[in-house]
Structure 1
């Protein structure tokens, strides 16, 4: 039987809020990508918007992984979510790789704008899926009680 429970006072999703601008960094990068690729500063603007996204994602990884991170707290609160936490941790590697590949493509003038945009679309897909899986995992941890777990 699934019942609603109150969130524990020591561990809450709010204890690890997202970087204030991380969610704004994706649309900012998207706007830079949508600008005319022939504009003289297209690649520079793109790289300028990519920097904060990379920094924000690095901060996200720091806050979620590690012995005192959100993922450790999730497993302590709901051990059944270990598999989901491991999946999110593996996704961090793929997202970091996609960020680096996008930056590398944007830094090389010979790479066509379409390829840069395809790499960005792939990155956006990974980020969106990761965010949703993380939200689903938090919901499973704090909004459902299977009984006898904690």
Structure 2
């Protein structure tokens, strides 16, 4: 069954909301990683941990909105099967990204020591980079499917 204009608009609106929330989570993580940690690694680590726990939930919601039974990926495929490879690639990204987030959540369980800070920052920065690329590919897919710019979530 072809998606209706109303259905597509509702799905895109849901994706825009999730996209903005995820973008805000990325910004919070970037700020927390950049915050001074010298002499305050435990407090720094607790803050980073809190942000990562929130990001894990935001990312789970992103997966639900895109891959769920009424998700955007299903709507895209209903309208254009030639995008199946792009949809599959984005969905395949979800597992390792969720794993990286979970690993960082576990790696920032209190107490974070001064020796942990550089490792957490490196892993967190790599995660940010991966998430930014994932968002870019998602925006490209939506544009190709609907000829609409979903925006940067800013």
For the criterion TM > 0.5, the same-fold answer is yes
Residues paired across the two proteins, number: 138
Alignment partner for residue 56 of structure 2, among 44, 54, 57? 54
Q: Which structure is higher in helix share?
A: 2
- What pairs up with 1:24-43 in 2 under 5 angstroms? 24-38=24-38, 39=40, 40-43=42-45
Native 8 Å contact 1:37 1:113 kept in 2? yes
Gaps of 5+ in 2: 149-154
> Which secondary structure does the structure 1 equivalent of 2:36 belong to?
coil
Superposed CA RMSD in Å reads 2.0
Distance 1:83 1:60 in 2: 19
Where does structure 1 lack aligned partners over 5 or more consecutive residues?
Answer: 1-6, 145-150
Partners of 1:112 and 1:52 in 2: CA distance: 21
d(CA) in 2 for partners of 1:140, 1:8: 16
The structure number with the bigger radius of gyration is 1
After the TM superposition, which residues 1-150 of structure 1 pair with which residues of structure 2 at under 5 Å, given as runs?
8-12=5-9, 13-19=12-18, 20-38=20-38, 39=40, 40-107=42-109, 109=112, 112-143=116-147
Contact 1:98-1:122 at 8 Å conserved across structures: no
SS of 2:124 mapped into structure 1:
helix
Q: Is the 8 A contact 1:18 1:60 kept in 2?
A: no
